[in-house]
Structure 1
Amino acid sequence: MNSDGVAGGVPLTDGKWAGWSGWAEPHPDTFLQAIGRGYMRSDAPGKALVGLETRPGHRNRIDTLHGGFLAAFADHAFFGALWAMGHRDHVNGMTIDLTMQYLGAGKVGPDLIAEVELLRETGRMLFLRMVMTQNGAPVAASTATIRKAPSTR
């Protein structure tokens, strides 16, 4: 976290995530430790990719990615995408609603990639959607409304 309490990305130059920014390591004793470190990048205005390495703790009892984990990652990914798109003042915003559509069974091991698009921005709200994939196959889709963080005066 930086001095104003906002987690930020660190540009990566090595390994499979080179060219992406790594979300700051999760603060100890927070729910983000269950999700893991995210990776994000934006190659076009209003669009971003957020990646995550899946691990055994993300699975359910039938050995696929847990739906609750996918919803938690969606919420996390929307904010990572906002950061990558340059909306850094709103990383401390608040999720107003989040919908999920489960499209296929995700597997532990392959990276999970969320393709996020900012659909609309108003004075107080951001409207976003995403599709999550593993190896190009759809796993889930989501939409969210984010209330912007209050501006500091």
Structure 2
Amino acid sequence: MASDGVAGGKPLTEGKWAGWIAWSDPHPDTFLQAIGRGYMRAESSTKALVGLETRSSHRNRLDSLHGGFLAAFADHAYFGALWAMGHVEQVNAVTLDLSMQYLGAGKVGPDLFADVEVLRETGRLFFMRMLITQDGQSVAASTATVRKAPTPR
């Protein structure tokens, strides 16, 4: 069974992503379409793993993964991880800052994995970090501060 994106979703039951929840934006004309469908699963209440299949549109002229794509994937992965950890209401939160450290060239073809951790949560903020890997090798690291979505009144 496929997920219905940010509106909810159940773990997939077939294929290489069995046990993961698929994340896709139900709106067809958003930037998420350029990144692609992500897959996520919670590892604990403060850790989650987000996966993504890479494709040729993610590459730069050197045939490695584009740095801008990796930054966009990182931003996407923070929200997918929060969602997987049970913070479903935070799909409408906003990124206040995002820092990237590029550690190696990623390739088109192998899946990317973002190991995401919430370092601290306050009343209004999440302080987070991640390591992006591909084939067991570090590709990038990131830190971010996410401003929580307002509570509906």
TM range (shorter): over 0.9
Other-structure match for 1:54: 54
CA separation of 1:129 and 1:105: change in aligned 2, threshold 3 A: same
Residues 1:76 and 2:76 are matched in the alignment: yes
| Paired residue type of 1:79 | F
Identity %: 74
How many residues of Structure 1 are paired with residues of Structure 2 in the alignment?
151
When the two structures are superposed, what TM-score results if normalisation uses the length of structure 2?
0.94
Distance 1:35 1:108 in 2: 13
Q: Which segments of 5 or more consecutive residues in structure 1 lack a partner in the other structure?
A: none
Distance 2:104 2:53 in 1: 18
Matches within 5 A, 1:4-153: 6-25=6-25, 27-153=27-153
Distance 1:40 1:132 in 2: 13
Render the CA deviation track for 1:32-83: whole Å, top value 9, x for unaligned.
1100000000122200000000000000000000000000000000000000
Distance 1:55 1:26 in 2: 20
Q: Which segments of 5 or more consecutive residues in structure 2 lack a partner in the other structure?
A: none
Distance 2:67 2:99 in 1: 12
CA separation of 1:26 and 1:137: change in aligned 2, threshold 3 A: farther
When the two structures are superposed, what TM-score results if normalisation uses the length of structure 1?
0.94
**Alpha carbons 1:26, 1:37 under 8 Å: kept:** no
1:118 CA displacement: 0.3
1:84 CA displacement: 0.5
| Paired residue type of 1:152 | P
**Alpha carbons 1:20, 1:39 under 8 Å: kept:** yes
CA separation of 1:8 and 1:100: change in aligned 2, threshold 3 A: farther
Distance 2:126 2:38 in 1: 21
Distance 1:68 1:80 in 2: 18
Give 4+ residue runs of structure 1 displaced > 6 Å after superposition: none
Render the CA deviation track for 1:74-118: whole Å, top value 9, x for unaligned.
000000000001111111100000000000000000000000000
**Alpha carbons 2:35, 2:69 under 8 Å: kept:** yes
